[in-house]
């Protein structure tokens, strides 16, 4: 059996490669790993998770110094040159480590790496530098790219995407932001702390659709009051045009009887409007595969060719790092199963998302169900909610903002889900993942922490929900 992986440097591709390599020489005769990345390392390392957390840490330090009234003097300014230089240095190291890990796989006989571009020329026929390969299985792990919305007038504008912001050593004095999802929620506070006066367009009543409404409302309050950000809710973009002084003017519809005829003016437009699979260069039009809606099933196999697997951001389902890795593992397992004429298993994912909102000082985390999704799944549930401002540890550590909510099954006490918008919610998410994925009874969870630590917040949630059970 011959397996060819396109996009081996990325998180999903490297997971496939790492899981399949031990089978080379037994189940697999040949494993070909391909990536044309320069320098190569995958989205998370180069332009996603890692560099974004680097710049957010700068905003976090400034924000906490700025809002702490026990400190005197003006807060420091952000040195963008140093931020980007340090970020680039770390990214180079991380990327080199990823490349070395992939190249080390070729120490095993039967594994090869090709640093070039791969393109389909027929069903499961791939051309690389003029050579044709006809593997038994192909894995597509080519990641995703920022989306610039198709708005009237956009052709005359040069917007800044998330990739541009992460590389920027100079920022405008003002900006209007399209996109208030994961990327926007993370980068907007960074821009604000860097001195950019921002207006944000939010299509709905609030951000964070996956959470109970109170979390989105609280986050908007934080952004408006602590970061001085103008958030326009229930507003949609209509058209955009350049201004005479080199800026932009965005016309919007706020859904009222008085549409904005003046437009929102700013020096620059920021487009944090999602990502799309990077599959345009693959030549899929030469194959039977139609990359439309739902083109990949839960086994990670393409619906039109079950011997082509599509993992990570490339399949367009859930552009999250840990999901990409899990996709890779699922694809590797299912390739082996399919080759052995055994049933392939569907990938199942317990909801586990973190948004590094509030300059990463006040991140949002959700693990498992909300009360609404629990009800939709057939559970009768009970919930408990606690506010950080009422918690002594959060207060004395000057992290008084946010709330947490625990959802458990009302019949048997199974921990169903957690939502948190508070300091270090991201680190608490792993604890809740263990509880949710192992379906633990909340009454069996120890209700004490090692004082004085922030997870005492969880103790209160555990005690309250346990007390309301039979």
Residue 58 counted as domain residue? yes
**Residues whose CB falls within 8 Å of the CB of residue 69, separated by 6 or more in sequence, listed in order:** none
Predicted pLDDT at 447: 83
Predicted pLDDT at 41: 84
Predicted pLDDT at 182: 93
3-state DSSP assignment of residue 140: strand
Same domain, 181 and 207: yes
Same domain, 318 and 259: no
Global pTM exceeds 0.85: yes
Predicted pLDDT at 260: 58
Same domain, 18 and 38: yes
Q: Residue 303 is part of a domain; what is its CATH number?
A: 3.50.50.60
The total number of structural domains in the chain stands at 3
Predicted pLDDT at 448: 80
Same domain, 372 and 250: no
Residue 301 counted as domain residue? yes
Same domain, 193 and 315: no
**Structural domain ending residue among the three candidates 273, 291, 320:** 273
429/421 Cα distance (integer angstroms): 11
Nearest to 382 by CA among 414, 347, 340: 414
168/270 Cα distance (integer angstroms): 12
Predicted pLDDT at 46: 83
Q: What is the pLDDT along the chain (470 residues), one digit of tens a residue?
A: 999 999 999 999 999 999 999 999 999 999 999 999 988 888 888 888 899 999 999 999 999 999 999 999 998 999 999 999 999 999 999 999 999 999 999 999 999 999 999 999 999 999 999 999 999 999 999 999 999 999 999 999 999 999 999 999 999 999 999 999 999 999 999 999 999 999 999 999 999 999 999 999 999 999 999 999 999 999 999 999 999 999 999 999 987 655 556 799 999 999 999 999 999 999 999 999 999 989 999 999 999 999 999 999 999 887 777 888 999 999 999 999 999 999 999 999 889 999 999 999 999 999 999 999 999 999 999 999 999 999 989 999 999 999 999 999 999 999 999 999 999 999 999 999 999 999 999 999 998 877 788 888 999 999 999 999 98
**Structural domain ending residue among the three candidates 226, 248, 273:** 273
Same domain, 9 and 123: yes
Predicted pLDDT at 399: 93
Beta-sheet pairing, 305-310 with 137-140: parallel
**Structural domain ending residue among the three candidates 249, 273, 297:** 273
Same domain, 160 and 251: yes
Residue 52 counted as domain residue? yes
Domain holding 64, by residue range, is 2-146+276-339
Same domain, 142 and 288: yes
**Own/partner pairs for 82-91, CB < 8 Å, 24+ apart?**
83/54, 83/55, 83/58, 84/166, 84/167, 84/168, 84/169, 86/54, 87/51, 87/54, 87/55, 87/166, 90/50, 90/51, 90/54, 91/41, 91/45, 91/46, 91/50, 91/51, 91/54
Same domain, 17 and 120: yes
269/267 Cα distance (integer angstroms): 7
Q: Where are the beta strands (DSSP E) in 339-380?
A: 352-355, 364-368
Q: Where are the beta strands (DSSP E) in 243-393?
A: 248-253, 264-266, 268-271, 275-277, 301-302, 305-310, 352-355, 364-368, 381-387
Distances (CA, A) of 436 to 103, 406, 415, 433: 37, 11, 5, 5
Distance spanning both ends of the chain, measured CA to CA: 56
Burial-class residue 382 by CB neighbours within 10 Å (0-12, 13-18, 19+): buried
Q: Which tens digits make up the pLDDT trace of 215-242?
A: 999 999 999 999 999 999 999 999 999 9
Same domain, 101 and 184: no
Residue 431 counted as domain residue? yes
133/130 Cα distance (integer angstroms): 10
CB atoms within 10 A of CB 171: 20
Same domain, 175 and 215: yes
Distances (CA, A) of 99 to 166, 227, 294, 395: 22, 39, 31, 44
């Amino acid at each position: 059996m011959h397996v060819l992986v396109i996009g081996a440097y990325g998180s999903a591709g490297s997971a496939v490669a790492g899981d399949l390599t031990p089978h080379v020489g037994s189940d697999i005769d040949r494993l070909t790993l391909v990536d044309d990345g320069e320098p190569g390392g995958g989205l998370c390392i180069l332009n996603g998770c890692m560099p974004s957390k680097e710049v957010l840490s700068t905003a976090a330090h400034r924000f906490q110094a700025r809002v702490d009234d026990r400190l005197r003097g003006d807060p420091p300014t952000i040195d963008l040159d140093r931020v980007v230089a340090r970020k680039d240095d770390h990214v180079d190291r991380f990327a080199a480590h990823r490349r070395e890990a992939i190249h080390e796989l070729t120490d095993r006989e039967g594994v090869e790496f090709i640093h070039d571009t791969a393109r389909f020329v027929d069903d499961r026929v791939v051309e690389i530098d003029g050579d044709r390969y006809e593997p038994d299985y192909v894995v597509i792990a080519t990641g995703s790219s920022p989306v610039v919305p198709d708005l009237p007038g956009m052709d005359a504008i040069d917007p800044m995407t998330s990739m541009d912001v992460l590389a920027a050593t100079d920022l405008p004095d003002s900006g209007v932001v399209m996109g208030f999802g994961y990327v926007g929620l993370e980068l907007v506070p960074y821009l604000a702390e860097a001195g950019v006066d921002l207006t944000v367009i939010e299509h709905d009543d609030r951000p964070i659709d996956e959470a109970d409404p109170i979390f989105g409302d609280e986050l908007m309050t934080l952004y408006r009051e602590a970061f001085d950000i103008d958030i326009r809710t229930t507003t949609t973009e209509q058209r955009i045009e350049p201004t005479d002084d080199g800026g932009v003017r965005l016309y919007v519809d706020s859904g009222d009887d008085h549409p904005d005829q003046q437009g929102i003016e700013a020096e620059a437009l920021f487009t944090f409007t999602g990502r799309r699979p990077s599959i345009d260069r693959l030549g899929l039009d030469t194959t039977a595969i139609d990359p439309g809606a739902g083109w990949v099933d839960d086994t990670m196999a393409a619906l039109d060719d079950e011997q082509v697997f599509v993992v990570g951001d490339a399949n367009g389902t859930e552009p999250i790092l840990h999901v990409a890795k899990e996709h890779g593992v699922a694809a590797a397992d299912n390739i082996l199963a399919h080759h052995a004429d055994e049933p392939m298993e569907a990938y199942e994912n317990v909801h586990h998302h973190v948004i590094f909102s509030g300059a990463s000082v006040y991140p949002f985390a959700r693990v498992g169900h909300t009360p609404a999704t629990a009800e939709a799944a057939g559970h009768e549930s009970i919930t408990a909610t606690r506010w950080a401002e009422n918690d002594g540890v959060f207060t004395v550590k000057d992290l008084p903002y946010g709330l947490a909510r625990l959802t458990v099954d009302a019949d048997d006490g199974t921990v169903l889900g957690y939502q948190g918008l508070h300091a270090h919610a991201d680190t608490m998410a792993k604890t809740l993942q263990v509880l949710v994925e192992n379906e633990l009874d909340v009454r069996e969870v120890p209700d004490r922490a090692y004082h004085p630590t922030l997870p005492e917040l969880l103790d209160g949630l555990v005690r309250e929900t346990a007390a309301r059970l039979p």
